Structure 1
Amino acid sequence: MSQPFVSDGRAQSIARFFYHYTNQPAKTMTPLAGDASTRRYWRVHDQDISYIVMDDQAHPETAQRFAQLASDFAERGAPVPKVYAQDSAQGLLLLEDFGDDWIAHALNSEPENTMPRLLALLHDWQSQQQDLCPQLPAYNEALLVKELTLFDTWFVPFIFDTPLDAAQHKQLSEEYQALAQAIARHDSVCVHRDFHCRNIMNRGDNQLGLLDFQDAVTGSVCYDLISLTRDCYIRYPQADVQAWESAFRTHAPTTMDEEAWRMACEQTALQRHVKVLGIFVRLAVRDGKQGYLKDLERVLDYACAEVAFFQADHPVLASLLNEAQQRLPERLRVAEDAAAS
């Protein structure tokens, strides 16, 4: 067994965990590509069955939450992996293996056939999990604003040589608050929070599987929708996006008319993409995950288009985003040169 991502001692702990709960030695242990978190994943085989071990040693409480929510969501019909065993102290989970066929592959090759399946899955998710909402944290104004500040904490210094002055900070804070207040007034549902092409698996036989749901909250009915239709990793024709979002409203748990729905989608998408700009830079600068920089241009293009709907209400944010769009190519070249040196 090779363990390039963890210490030998950690690999041995995972092997002991696997043996303890299956009474079988691990025949093979293969490290898998990680995600945007500190979690690690291993595909482990015994004689006949393949499993996934989730290793969240740094944040064992997150593994506990994943296990609890997996049980709650599965009880209500969601296609989430079974949790066969857990070691709460070590942050280890033994999970059902959903395979390697990420839905991103199908979305890239045949979005017209794949997107309707995913929108149907999202409709089911929102209706099945509605009674769970009172038990989930609220995606409230404070959390929405906290996420938005990742933009000026990480993205702005990456793009601009001069820090924001006090007046800009004050105005930007007011713009964040106004956007968060608007989103907090939307109809509420159970929000997966990362409902996109890298967290949905194609399991075969027309079956889908959901991953990475441990941060679920109660929030805007639009949030998971725009996470899918305006995916940070894939961009679709604008006409298709508008058609998908408009059609979704007719079966969504909302009383919004078409105009209000369109505005709600733009508000929610702007918040998500501004936040993600900060997250992607943080992943590159702080965590050394340079691969996320290649997705910045797409996310910034989204945010610039979305802020145009609210330019009068968000002048500082609009100005920063539009100027960043001009500066980003050079900044990416500098970052690439620095990483290669």
Structure 2
Amino acid sequence: MIDKRLNKINLWLKQIFYSTAFRIEPASSDASFRRYFRVSIDNETLILMDAPPAQEDTKPFIKIASFLYQQGINVPKINAKDVESGFLLISDFGNKSYLDELNDQSADNLYHCAINSLIDIQLCPSQDIKLPYYDRSLLQREMDLFPQWFLGKHIDMPTPDFLSNTFDKLIDSALEQPQVIVHRDYHSRNLMHTTNNTPGIIDFQDAVIGPISYDLVSLLRDCYIVWPDDKIANWIYYYFTKAQQKGLLIDISIEQFTRWFDLMGLQRHLKILGIFARLNYRDNKPNYMKDLPLTLHYVQKISAKYPEFHELSHFLKQQQIVAIS
């Protein structure tokens, strides 16, 4: 089958590089319609992002990448762009993600570096970039994916009556937090391991202004890797003390912040259960189904921890065997 977009990519690169020879090979794809190619030219490599305009809009990526790059955040530099075609040529952070490099020996250093970079993002002047707000409507729409796709499609269950009240409590917790720039997918697959101890940050095009705990729980309660509670508690405290020193958390106790963190994770993981099911049933991307059990585990654990979410905990325990099959 002829790949017409790949032919178009090659023509575009020839215009950029003129007579210089280059080599292009697949690098990766993700849960969207985007795909990535590694372009080798002379003694360096670059990444070609292919984002079909009918399905993907490159303008948010360009806008946020340019802003964060100017703020000194380690995001890809945009070397060339064709917005109309959906092509971007950006710097290459290599092929080793945090997920590839994380182990018991490396975890403390890698997570400390990721937390330091996260705080740098949160310190960026959000008023200087117009981003959508993680408002009540968006938080609700995200969680609606859980009854629609996970309950309704994956385990064929009607939406329980208590769920609306559960969602309201999670939204209230999110909105009472300090609001900062939120990456929205700050986890081990979107942080690239570099040689300078500062992660290369990718996949930030959906950034919003939202709850301060969101990216931290995305990082530490990652759907692709799990850590013991004591390690997570230590990393939360590392973040908490750094954030306090930088003025991000004023007159907030560690207990209050941990509650925000837990409930934000519950909101995120309910959404992700729906997203993983949708990727499987609608988009024919079944690979994410293997990550359902860990995501469900997080939801069950936190809903059992807080009495106001025990209805959710009991409901999920009843459905567990079906849900993770």
Normalised to the residue count of structure 1, the TM-score between the two structures is 0.87
- Name which of 280, 286, 298 aligns with 1:302: 298
- Name which of 30, 35, 40 aligns with 2:35: 40
1:101 correspondence with 2:96: yes
2:223 alignment partner AA: C
Listed as ranges, the matches of 1:256-271 within 5 Å are: 256-271=252-267
1:302/1:258 CA distance change after superposition, 3 Å:
same
State the secondary structure of the residue aligned to 1:203: coil
Taking the aligned partners of 2:256 and 2:177, their CA distance within structure 1 comes to: 10
- Name which of 272, 276, 279 aligns with 1:280: 276
Measure how far apart 1:308 and its partner are: 1.8
Taking the aligned partners of 1:208 and 1:192, their CA distance within structure 2 comes to: 14
Residues 18 and 24 in structure 1, CA contact (< 8 A), matched pair in contact too: no
State the secondary structure of the residue aligned to 1:31: strand
Residues 136 and 218 in structure 1, CA contact (< 8 A), matched pair in contact too: yes
- Give the helix-richer structure, 1 or 2: 1
Moved more, 305-314 or 33-42: 305-314
Moved more, 110-119 or 10-19: 110-119
- Name which of 82, 85, 88 aligns with 2:83: 88
Structure 1: gaps spanning 5 or more residues: 333-341
Residue aligning to 1:53: 48
Task: State the identity as a percent.
Answer: 35
Structure 2: gaps spanning 5 or more residues: none
Taking the aligned partners of 2:264 and 2:190, their CA distance within structure 1 comes to: 19
Residue aligning to 1:231: 222
1:142/1:312 CA distance change after superposition, 3 Å:
same
Taking the aligned partners of 1:162 and 1:95, their CA distance within structure 2 comes to: 44
Residues 188 and 220 in structure 1, CA contact (< 8 A), matched pair in contact too: yes
2:182 alignment partner AA: V
- Name which of 10, 15, 27 aligns with 2:5: 10
Listed as ranges, the matches of 1:1-341 within 5 Å are: 7-24=2-19, 27-59=22-54, 62-108=57-103, 110-127=106-123, 129-132=124-127, 135-164=130-159, 168-169=160-161, 171-252=162-243, 253-255=248-250, 256-313=252-309, 315=311, 317-329=312-324, 332=325
Residues 182 and 207 in structure 2, CA contact (< 8 A), matched pair in contact too: yes
Measure how far apart 1:85 and its partner are: 1.1
- How many equivalent pairs are there? 319
Residues 18 and 26 in structure 1, CA contact (< 8 A), matched pair in contact too: no
Where do 4+ consecutive residues of structure 1 move more than 4 Å? 58-61
Taking the aligned partners of 1:26 and 1:290, their CA distance within structure 2 comes to: 38
Normalised to the residue count of structure 2, the TM-score between the two structures is 0.91
Residues 159 and 324 in structure 1, CA contact (< 8 A), matched pair in contact too: no
Coordinate RMSD, CA, aligned: 2.0
State the secondary structure of the residue aligned to 2:283: coil
Measure how far apart 1:299 and its partner are: 0.6
State the secondary structure of the residue aligned to 1:280: helix
2:58 alignment partner AA: A
Measure how far apart 1:326 and its partner are: 3.1
1:178/1:24 CA distance change after superposition, 3 Å:
farther
1:173-192 Cα offsets, whole Å, 9 max, x none, are: 23212311221111111111
Residues 102 and 202 in structure 1, CA contact (< 8 A), matched pair in contact too: yes
1:266-324 Cα offsets, whole Å, 9 max, x none, are: 11010011111111111111122211111111111011111123343562x33332223
Taking the aligned partners of 1:130 and 1:287, their CA distance within structure 2 comes to: 37
1:198-254 Cα offsets, whole Å, 9 max, x none, are: 001112243421000101111111011111111110100111111211231122212
State the secondary structure of the residue aligned to 2:43: coil
Measure how far apart 1:107 and its partner are: 1.5
Taking the aligned partners of 1:210 and 1:55, their CA distance within structure 2 comes to: 18
Structure possessing the higher relative contact order (Cα contacts under 8 Å, 6 or more residues apart): 2
Residues 304 and 310 in structure 2, CA contact (< 8 A), matched pair in contact too: no
State the secondary structure of the residue aligned to 1:213: coil
Taking the aligned partners of 1:271 and 1:235, their CA distance within structure 2 comes to: 18
State the secondary structure of the residue aligned to 2:93: coil
Taking the aligned partners of 1:133 and 1:218, their CA distance within structure 2 comes to: 12
Moved more, 43-52 or 238-247: 43-52
Residues 51 and 95 in structure 1, CA contact (< 8 A), matched pair in contact too: yes
